[in-house]
Every structure is written in structure tokens, then in C-alpha cells.
A and B are shown apart, each in its own frame.
Chain A
Amino acid sequence: MERRATRIGLGVWVALVLAFLYLPIVVICLYAFNKSNIQSWPIAGLTTKWFGPAIHNGDMQQALWLSLEAAALATLVALVLGSAASFGVHRFRFFGRESISFLLVLPIALPGIITGMALNSYFVFFKFNFGLWTIVIGHATFCVVVVYNNVVARLRRVPGSLTEASMDLGADGIQTFRYVTFPTISTALISGGLLAFALSFDEVIVTTFTAGAQNTLPIWIFGQIRLGQQLPQVNVVVFLVLAVTIVPVALAQRLTRESGILRTE
């Protein structure tokens, strides 16, 4: 147990950091009610007049829908490829094993603009039509590693004896996977998938290069920031997105916490 002074000191630090983390978010939510359409301090006045136009904004709706689609598909691809890769790396020893982690982490470790530029040239060269799928491919490159890491970390905690025991009891490979392995990694998949979804939903740099005449929500937001005339609408949208996502994020946290089958202390 740490000394009481240390604990109080740390508690104060945590409070300060949280204040730091949430200051801009409070600003965003507050300025969703800004009377003026230009942001300046102090706030010009409070009003809810932006909520209607923001929600009914056709360009915004289209962008939001595209973002949700792209994020869902990218997460799906990441879940499949990421867990496959993690199983392969965890279970088998082979030459070049560590380079797989290296390979998968590259898209997130290298600047997004490089991924964007490279994929753009690639799609142009092979004459792919820019659209939903090029956006998904762009996002999937950095989403895979997020799922991969979560699952690998979980698999490391799973004793190999569980699968062997299952086999000894007569289950074939698929049954073992379904009844023994999958439940142990399901929460890792959820937290990995959720983080991948968040990263894809908010991504703007790679998307600028891999989207054609489509706008995802971040691209729409950047356009509004460019013009600067309807900024409160952006704040409204961000405020609402945040309000909506508190629930799944909190839920996911509860799920992943309670699994606790395999605490190894």
C-alpha cells in the first residue's frame, strides 16, 4: 500500500489530467449552444437553434452514414484478419514470426499520409473506382493491428492446457474453438473491435486520399471548419455522437472487465 500522501497526490494529478482531457470537450459541447456562428470567448449567448439544422443537414447525414458503413466494414475485416493472424502467430513457431507483428504495426507506425499516398497511387494504377471499398481498405490497414494486439495479449494469458483438455474430452477442432477458445477471446475481440471502430470513424488523413467524390463525417467536419460559417453544427454533431457512444463504450468496459476467467497473478 502506498503512503497516504502519495495516494492523495496521485489523486490530485488524476483530477488535473482529467480536467486537461475534457476541457476541449466541454468547450465543444458548450459551443453547440453558441448564439453566434463564430467561436469567440466569452460565449455570445446560449441557444438550441443549431440542433435542428444540424440533424436535418443532408450533407451531414450522408457523411455520417458513410462513416458508419466504412467503420463497420473495416472493423469486420480487422476482426477476421487480426484474429487469424494472432492465432497463427501465437500457436506456431516459424521463421519470420516476429516480422509479422512488425508488418501489421507498420500502417499505424508510419505517417497516415504515406499510407494515403501509397494506396491512392495503387488504386489509380489498377484502375479501382474510388468509393466505399477503397475507404474500407485504407482503414483496415491500421485497424488490423489493434485487434491483433488485443487478441495476442489475451491468448498469452490463456493456458494452452485448456484446448488440450477440450480435445482430450473428445471435441474436434471446430467445437473446441466454438466452446472453449472463442469465449476466452470474445471480450478481447469486443474491446479490439470497438477501438478499431473508433479509429476508423474518426480517421481523416488516409481517407482524404482513398475517398473519391464521397465524404465521411471527418471530411464533412473539416469542410465546415474550412468555411467557418456553420461551426456550431459541427459542435452539435460531435456532442450528439459523444452522447450516443458513452453507452456502448461503458458497456464494453463492463463486459471486458467481468470476463476475468484468466487472471494470472
Chain B
Amino acid sequence: MTKKRMWALVATLAVTLAFPAAGVSKAHGGTLNLIAWEGYTYKQWVNPFEKQSGCTVHSKFAGSSDEMVTLMRSGGGSQYDMVSASGDASLRLIYGHDVQAVDPSKIPDFKNFGKAFQSPPNNTVDGKHYGISLQWGPNTLLYNTKVVKPAPTSWSAIYSPKYKGKVTVPDNPIQIADAALYLMKHSPSLKITDPYELNSTQFKAATDLLRKQKPLIKKYWALASDEIDLFKNGDAVIGASWPYQTNTLKADKAPVKDIVPSEGATGWLDTWMVSAHTKNLDCAYKWLAYISTPKVQAEQAIYFGETPVNSKACPIMDKLSKGSCAQYHANAPLEYFKQIHFWKTPIADCGNGKKNCMDYTKWQQAWTQLKG
């Protein structure tokens, strides 16, 4: 083709590309800009929602609750409409006035939520609901059944030099709480009552424990796939994990098993929260209602290896994957939850009248210095 025609073609191409086809709304409803954990808003769940609600969904995926807080606050809080934060960050959003109170009566499935998840302390303050619980999971002890013998029953397995160089724990400041939980049971003289409320002595003990642990660690896993690769390729044999990694490894016939050790475990609970500055409240409520329905709850639970808060999701889960309801403790009795210490943002207020607890900034600083 002649040079002239070629340039004409290039020019037309450039002009057509300037109209972002991806952003053209196919519906007359509003647009929701969501901040979510990777994969929470994949097309398999977003497409049916867009069809039935008329709202359009755009997603920004983040790798940690802290990132979600930063994103929510950027631009004066007007950039994103909703966020699926975990308990370690939800209080920061609530106290920072970044999210608004929601009315659970507008969510039809709310009454089907397990009692523990309707008003948990990490999204309900003074009786006001600042979000709708979504899914939860424990931070389990994962180990390679072929190498780790006898089977461990306590978190001490990841603090002992027996598996030096083959241990892995999450790369997250909230991991300090796991150390505090261990000390809660094994060093009662420290008088730790809540792994997230630590005064300076207790905090130092926890970080010292982590420093002692560092030479045992192969890698602090930041991504779920880090841990999956570590276990699959022989670089780690024991570590702290989420059920997601366990399921993925098991599906690939890796010889692994996870337990909640005798000391109990920390856990996370995800909540969908609505921005205080959103202009699409209508669509936001539609999304909250949709994501709480049993079918979607069950599908997300199976996909991500987490536990739904909607008790009606159980039968659907068992249909998708036999025995998954019990495997994920979806309808577990209250005793099970007593041993899970759900994430919550560490603040200076110790909750017992004292206000000398370490706040989250100190946790973050200590973590950066630990990693060095």
C-alpha cells in the first residue's frame, strides 16, 4: 500500500483507539469502582451482577489491606466507591471517616449470616454497621507431611530450629500478633490478653521472638503463589498459611496438611465497605445484596478456599465440592470461633482503660526493621 494510505490507516487507528471501548458503559445504571482482593471481582461474578442490576463494575486489585486503605484515601476519598478490606484495616477506615454506615436491613441475606459475623467488632462500632461481612478464614499451620514428622500440634514448630531454612510466614506487620498469640500461651508472665493490644514490653517480646525466628525463615511470603511455590518446589516444609494455599497444593497432589494448632490461630474477616463519598449508593447496596447471596458466597468460598458468612451457602458448597462445608467450618459451632483471634487494627487504646498500647504505625516500622 502507498505511504499515504498507510498513514491514513495509522491515523484512523489512533483515533479509534482514543475512545476507550472498555470504559463504555453498557448499562444505564451507575458505575462502581471497587477496590478488592485479587480475583474477588472476576467476570464470572461481575457479569451476572451487571446484567441484573444495570450497574457497571470496574476493579482495582490490591495485595494487602494497607494498600486498600491508601487507595481509599487517595484523592480525598472520592476515587473508589467500595472496598473489601480485612479486619486489620477496617478500623482505620472507620475512624478515618473514609467509609459510611450501612443499613443491614437493606440486605436480604443479612439475617442468614452466622451470629458471629453480623456485628463483629472489626466492622461494627457503637452498634453502627460500617460494612457487610463477606468471607473469613484462619491463618493455619501448613506442613509437608512427608518431611515434617511427627505431625506438629503447636506453633512452636515454626519457632524451633528443627526445620531451619525451610520455614515461611507471611510478610505482613500483623504477623506480630501471631508471635504475641504464641507468647500468650507460652509466656503467661507477660500477661498478654489480646494479641493486638500490646504494651511496649509485650511488643518487644513479640518482636524479639520474630527476630530469633528470622534465621529459620527461607522467605517471608508476600503473595499466595510465593507460598505455593515454596512448598511445591522443596524450599519450605512448614509455615503459616491460608486455606487457599492448602487447597491449591492439595489439588496438585502435594503432600501437605494444615491445622489450627493448640494455641489457636489468628484469622481474617473480609468486609465490603462503602465509601463515605460515593455517588453510587444505589449500585453499592445492589452489590452488597448480590455478594451476600448463598450462590455467590458458595462459589467464592470454593474458589478462594475461604468460609462464607451466609449459613445458607453450605448446601451449595457441598454440591460444588463434596464435604467442603465441613472442611471450611462453614457452620461450625461457636466454640470453634473462640480459638480464632480475628485481625483488628492495633490502636493505642488498650481497651482496659490504659492507652499505652502500640499503634499500627509502630507495628509497620518494627516489621520493616525486622526484614532489614
Q: Which residues of A contact B (CB under 8 A)?
A: 36-41, 44, 57-59, 62, 65-66, 68-69, 72-73, 76, 120, 124, 127, 130-132, 211-215, 219, 223, 225-229, 231
Contact = CB atoms under 8 A, between A and B. Distances in A.
A25 to B, nearest CB: 19
Nearest to B227: A228
Contacts of A36: 252
Contacts, number: 93
Contacts of A72: 13-14, 17
B1 interface: no
Contacts of B14: 72-73, 76
A227 B38 contact: yes
Contacts of A73: 14, 17-18
Contact of B23 (A132, A215, A225): A132
Contacts of B38: 223, 226-227
A118 B74 CA distance: 13
B23 A226 contact: no
A228 B223 contact: yes
A37 to B, nearest CB: 7
Nearest to B251: A37
Given A38-B228, A132-B20, A213-B33, A127 B61 contact: no
Contacts of B248: 37-38, 228-229
Given A38-B228, A228-B223, A213 B17 contact: no
Nearest to A63: B22
Given A38-B248, A226-B225, A124 B61 contact: no
Contacts of A37: 248, 251-252
Given A225-B225, A227-B39, A227-B225, A131 B20 contact: yes
B21 interface: yes
Contact of B43 (A58, A132, A228): A58
Interface residues of B, number: 38
A68 B232 CA distance: 35
Contacts of B229: 38-40, 228
22 contacts: A36-B252, A38-B248, A39-B229, A58-B43, A59-B42, A65-B21, A72-B13, A73-B18, A124-B74, A130-B79, A132-B20, A212-B58, A213-B33, A215-B60, A223-B61, A225-B223, A226-B61, A226-B224, A227-B224, A227-B225, A228-B223, A228-B224
A226 B36 CA distance: 13
B83 to A, nearest CB: 11
B249 interface: yes
B34 interface: yes
Nearest to A41: B233
Interface in B69-127: 74-76, 79-80
A226 B229 CA distance: 11
Nearest to A35: B252
Contact of A120 (B17, B34, B74, B225): B74
Given A72-B14, A73-B18, A213 B252 contact: no
A225 B18 CA distance: 30
- Interface centre among B75, B248, B251, by most chain A C-beta atoms within 10 angstroms, is B75
Contacts of A69: 17-18, 20
A219 B38 CA distance: 11
A168 B264 CA distance: 89
A59 B60 CA distance: 12
Given A37-B252, A40-B232, A130-B79, A228 B17 contact: no
A72 B19 CA distance: 12
Contacts of A228: 223-225, 228-229, 248
A214 B22 contact: yes
A77 to B, nearest CB: 10
A2 B359 CA distance: 69
Nearest to A228: B225
Interface string B244-266: 00001101101000000000000
Please list the 5 inter-chain residue pairs (A to B) with the smallest Cβ-Cβ separation, ordered nearest first: A228-B225, A213-B58, A58-B43, A213-B33, A213-B60
Nearest to A132: B20
Interface in B40-80: 42-43, 47, 58-61, 63, 74-76, 79-80
Nearest to B231: A38
Contacts of B252: 36-38, 44
B43 to A, nearest CB: 4
A113 B38 CA distance: 21
A212 B223 contact: no
Nearest to A69: B17
Given A213-B34, A223-B38, A38 B75 contact: no
Given A37-B252, A38-B232, A229-B248, A212 B79 contact: yes
Given A58-B43, A132-B23, 9 more contacts: A62-B22, A65-B21, A69-B18, A72-B17, A131-B20, A213-B33, A226-B223, A228-B223, A228-B248
Interface in B210-251: 223-225, 228-229, 232-233, 248-249, 251
B42 A40 contact: no
A65 B80 contact: no
Given A38-B228, A72-B17, A228-B228, A124 B42 contact: no
Contacts of A214: 22-23, 58, 60
Nearest to A121: B74
A32 B17 CA distance: 30
Given A58-B47, A124-B74, A66 B17 contact: no
A66 B60 CA distance: 14
B233 A231 contact: no
Contacts of B33: 212-213
